Structure 1
Amino acid sequence: MTSSQAQAFEPFEPTPHPYIPNAVPAVRQAMLDAIGAASVEEFYADIPDGIRLHRPLNLPAPLRSEAELTRHMERLLGRNTTTREALSFLGAGCYQHHVPAVVDEIVDRSEFLTAYAGEPYEDHGRFQALWEYQSMMAELLDVEVVNVPVYDGFQAAGTALRMAGRVTGRRRLVIASSVGADELSRIRDYVRPDHDVTVVPVDPATGGADLAAVREALAGGEVAAVYAQAPSALGVIDAGLPDLAELAHAAGALYVVGCNPITLGVLAPPSSYGADIACGDIQPLGIHQSFGGGNAGFIATRDEERLVAEYPSRLFGLVPTEVEGEYGFGDVAYERTSFAQREEGKEWVGTAAALHGIGAGVYLALMGPQGMRDIGDTILRLTAYARARLSQVPGIEVPFGDTPHFADFTVRYTGSRSAAEIRTDLRGHGIFGGVPTGERTAAFCVTEVHTKADIDLLAATLEEIVK
């Protein structure tokens, strides 16, 4: 190699990241000039010092080409292990279900997939597809009104509770059933500073709502809503859900129920036992897990003006056209949304998860009423078998006795090893599950993708590692 050739292979001079526009010094300075800030530090002056990183981000060297970027991302993705590669018993809000191939075929169509938020400049059937989704969800939930999906079930719960606050003009919110820590954190964050959240501990014997404690919490007055889940975060199917409706309404509050929609082929919808607002996540309805993503939230109510007027999200309905007898599909009461009112809106709702709504609509159309009954019955039976089988493992107790569960359930380890240690050992055996919910308690989940042999393998593996 000649000296000139060697010079050609010397390292490049440091350059800004080509995929981060404001990494270019001139661009960064232009942005600061436009907003009147002397420096980036001045721009972020309002961010408390205690939550600042105080060091540069650990970013890779600038990637100069599409090929380099692709290779880098493939290496990162290759570090993941999917729930298809391992035997997974993970649940708690993001579930492993079979997604029929036709669902992916439809949502991958260019008229749905490529537009921002599924929002084309010309409607190529998207509005009708979402109207069909809303209609099938309304039938499943036995209500008249269902929204275009929001980000996820957590936001749907927060929005539903804010809606209740606007309807009643009250401040307090009472959580009456077990709610996952992540969802509770999201609810608290989303409803502040307008609402105070009171969490009522569940009955330790059944895992269901403690009705006496809820009644006491309501006695303080000014309660906007009572919130419960069906099933709860513990997987419990609570026989006290109708009683909560009576308590809420007697106190002048609305009853908001978060539910898993895939249960509704075998369990009664919230509207049938007094819920004013139902909400939840449509991820179980034909949406892939996507490493914890793939979520979209629904909100559902009766067709009452006081409730419909408080939806901040979009609603699609039938609308007349200029041709007599012809109808199209479009927004209903668009003026009530934050899209129309902007900063004057009731609350902010941004990019919707509309594409997931189309996917869920395809899934519901494929399943039909009988399919939803079949899958719900299958999951109920598998859950009962899993709880019974794991209760036979020495060193494991399954709490809440004969209380029926759906998909999610809890176990308690009675030996010397912690839930975190057992989870790590399970992962070493190629099994995901046993997410710690305490020092000696853990959460598991089964769905229709599991078999009796899968559950028996889990039990046999636990027999080896639980001491």
Structure 2
Amino acid sequence: MTEPFVHPYIPNTAPQSRAAMLAAVGAESVDEFYADIPESLRLRRLLDLPDALVAEQDLARHVRGLLAKNHSTQERLSFLGGGTYNHYVPAVVDEVIGRSEFLTAYAGEPYEDHGRFQALFQYQSLMAELLEMDVVNVPTYDGYQAAATGLAMAGRITSRPRVLVVSDVLPAKLSKVTDYVRAHLTLEQLPTANGTADLAAVRAALGDDVAAVWVETPSATGAVEASLRELADAAHAAGAVLVVGTDPIGYGVLAPPALAGADIVTGDIQSLGLHQWFGGAHGGFIAVHDDPAFVMEMPSRLFGLETTDVPGEYGFGDVAYDRTSFAHREEGKEWVGTAAALWGIAAGVYLALMGPAGMAELGEVLLARTRYAQRALSAIEGVSLDDNAVHLREFTVTLPVPAAEIVAAGRAEGIEPGLIVGEHRLLVCVTEMTTQADIDRLAELIAQTTASAPRVTAPVREEQAK
């Protein structure tokens, strides 16, 4: 019989330690403990690791070889989006967040804070102004967590179990949010109409068990929701909360969701001065009105002005600390979670640098270039837009040839044409970093590829058939 392997530095690999841990959680085996992990995600083999490298220089060479396989958007023309975006990061942002008093992911504590609390308070204030909301948290781990927490808040506020998902959501985001809230909430995906929410379907699905109507704007396909006010009115009439997931990059020109009746606004700040970094520097925000019923359900940290013992002086510190899991520990409503405080400071620097005029100009550029790209691609024979909604930064097209052929042809030319979202469908993203010449180059690539390939009739999308 083979003796069980016990790692010299990992004591819980010992059989008796493992048995004690399983007994503590009431599981008979490791497989039972991980029962929620789908079989498709389990690795039923040993890790595919290279032979041990005995010298540091050999390890350095191996890692350099791995890194050399990557290609950044500075090397290749990219139309990739889907949650991580190639926006310009001003040099001053990197300069500020590289300072030693800021360079940590955590929010810090008073005894070691050297302006970090103030910087985060200013970030919160700038985000609140951009979003037309009163209260914004210190960034959560990412936008996925922020969306899940916003829905969990709605569930606690209403004491109801059902959430209506009324717009297209990134599959990875929907999966992560579902995992986070499934113990308390059930998510019900409703059909969309012309890229945005189907109001008739939403009204028909609302009932006294609905905690929240969740809408993404821009959606996973970049569609800007035009019926937020109607969705808010319908949700509120049913006693539900309107939770909006969004990207703040467009609110220099678009009306923020709060003005249309949104109760909780969540999203990611990666677009605000954060690099892509092979997967993105991400941080989530949650914004609410100055209503104790909502503020006291926010699990993450809030920083505000505080008076000191010295007359006329003030400082910065936690607001309503007693609502957090730091105060309640395991009795808390929800955990504070991993902060992305450094990214909050980066976004604060970015917003302060851009100002209202800069954000307005950026929003106008994004709308204009998105529309130019839509017209350029839909002018190609056999290529069509999937809906008529207003789009910001991203949109989908249906192609007369498989989308994989377009991607393969583009990569051969140093271009990433977009994300494949269907056999004949491509999600295309443009930002202020994408020039008109870049868009023309993509259009030329698609025109040449579709002209030289045999035509296949693309299937009609269900919502288009309606």
TM-score by length of 2: 0.89
Change (3 A) 1:36 1:243: closer
The one-letter code of the counterpart of 2:271 is: P
2:246 — aligned with what? 259
1:315 to 2:302 alignment: yes
2:82 — aligned with what? 92
Please say which of residues 328-337 and 32-41 is displaced more in the overlay.
Answer: 32-41
2:457 — aligned with what? none
1:166 — aligned with what? 156
1:24, distance to aligned residue in structure 2 (A): 8.0
Distance 2:120 2:301 in 1: 11
1:180, distance to aligned residue in structure 2 (A): 1.4
- Give the alignment of 1:141-152 within 5 angstroms: 141-152=131-142
CA deviation map 1:431-450 (0-9, x unaligned): 11331211211100111011
1:285 — aligned with what? 272
Change (3 A) 1:274 1:332: same
2:396 — aligned with what? 410
- Give the alignment of 1:258-407 within 5 angstroms: 258-401=245-388, 403-407=389-393
1:27 to 2:14 alignment: no
Distance 2:91 2:28 in 1: 51
1:395, distance to aligned residue in structure 2 (A): 2.2
Change (3 A) 1:62 1:424: same
Distance 1:145 1:29 in 2: 45
1:282, distance to aligned residue in structure 2 (A): 0.4
Please say which of residues 26-35 and 133-142 is displaced more in the overlay.
Answer: 26-35
The one-letter code of the counterpart of 1:175 is: V
Q: Is the 8 A contact 1:279 1:297 kept in 2?
A: yes
Q: Which of the residues 417, 436, 440 maps onto 1:452?
A: 436
- Give the alignment of 1:38-49 within 5 angstroms: 44-45=30-31, 46-48=33-35
Q: Is the 8 A contact 2:168 2:221 kept in 1?
A: yes
1:56 — aligned with what? 46
1:349, distance to aligned residue in structure 2 (A): 3.1
Helix, strand or coil for the counterpart of 2:172?
helix
2:106 — aligned with what? 117
1:129 — aligned with what? 119
Give 5+ residue unaligned stretches, structure 1. 1-22
Distance 1:28 1:93 in 2: 36
Q: How many residues align?
A: 438
1:387, distance to aligned residue in structure 2 (A): 0.1
Q: Is the 8 A contact 2:12 2:18 kept in 1?
A: no
Structure 1 runs (4+) deviating above 6 angstroms are 38-43
Distance 1:118 1:346 in 2: 21
CA deviation map 1:291-312 (0-9, x unaligned): 1221110000011100000001
The one-letter code of the counterpart of 1:55 is: R
Give 5+ residue unaligned stretches, structure 2. 454-466
Q: Which of the residues 65, 70, 80 maps onto 1:75?
A: 65
Q: Is the 8 A contact 1:419 1:434 kept in 2?
A: no
2:213 — aligned with what? 226
**What CA RMSD, in Å, does the superposition of the two structures yield over aligned residues?**
2.2
CA deviation map 1:40-80 (0-9, x unaligned): 99973523494542321112233445444333322211110
1:463 — aligned with what? 447
1:36, distance to aligned residue in structure 2 (A): 5.8
Distance 2:21 2:258 in 1: 55
Q: Which of the residues 181, 185, 197 maps onto 1:195?
A: 185
Q: Is the 8 A contact 2:301 2:336 kept in 1?
A: no
1:242 to 2:229 alignment: yes
Distance 2:170 2:418 in 1: 15
1:332, distance to aligned residue in structure 2 (A): 0.7
1:389, distance to aligned residue in structure 2 (A): 0.5
Change (3 A) 1:267 1:39: closer
1:16 — aligned with what? none
Distance 1:63 1:305 in 2: 57
1:103 to 2:90 alignment: no
Distance 2:136 2:148 in 1: 16
Distance 1:63 1:287 in 2: 35
TM-score by length of 1: 0.89
Distance 1:322 1:61 in 2: 62
CA deviation map 1:233-274 (0-9, x unaligned): 121122211110111001100111111101000101111000
Q: Percent identity?
A: 53
Distance 1:323 1:32 in 2: 57
Helix, strand or coil for the counterpart of 2:396?
strand
Please say which of residues 206-215 and 60-69 is displaced more in the overlay.
Answer: 60-69
